[in-house]
Copies of this chain bind each other. A is one copy, B any other.
Amino acid sequence: MTQFWGTHQNRRDAKGRVSVPAQFRAALRALGDGEATLVLRPSHKHSCIEAWPQSLFQELETPLGRLDQFSDPHDDLALTLYADAYPVEPDKEGRIILPESLAAFAGLGETVVFMGLGRTFQIWEPAAAEQRRAEARVRARELTLAGIGAGTAGGKA
């Protein structure tokens, strides 16, 4: 059920194209989202680009329907969801073009990092990605010391 694993590094060419890691492409194919397989949007927490499979992104839209169409919350949600989101479809070689505004937002240079997050993935500038991972590792460890850690799994007396 989980789809996006691991961390991968690729490069943008002169035209701003990047190959989506083959593994991720396979996962997308498995989802069978035909047109515009991906939705890209800036993360609201970090300097990175979030990549959502089209079908999963649509699930985010459902709360919209429950809000009064003319209410402020509706407008706010709709705006954050759509205004900065870009649908992209990999070309025949599996590459996508990162919109300039998103690339700038994430501070991307030539090489970019794809980080799998299970059902979605993120696109980072390499150094920022490394920093973020270190940070998350520490915090997740506090969260679930009981759960993760083969040290404890096997070691369980």
Contacts and interface: CB of A to CB of B under 8 A. Distances in A.
Contact of A157 (B72, B75, B87, B143): B143
A99 B78 CA distance: 26
A104 to B, nearest CB: 13
Interface string A39-73: 00001111000111000100011011000000011
Interface of A: 2, 4-7, 43-46, 50-52, 56, 60-61, 63-64, 72-73, 75-87, 99, 101, 115-122, 132-133, 135-137, 139-141, 143-144, 147-151, 153-157
Given A6-B85, A81-B148, A118-B156, 16 more contacts: A2-B61, A5-B86, A6-B84, A43-B151, A44-B148, A44-B149, A45-B75, A45-B151, A61-B118, A79-B133, A79-B140, A80-B133, A80-B140, A81-B118, A84-B137, A121-B150
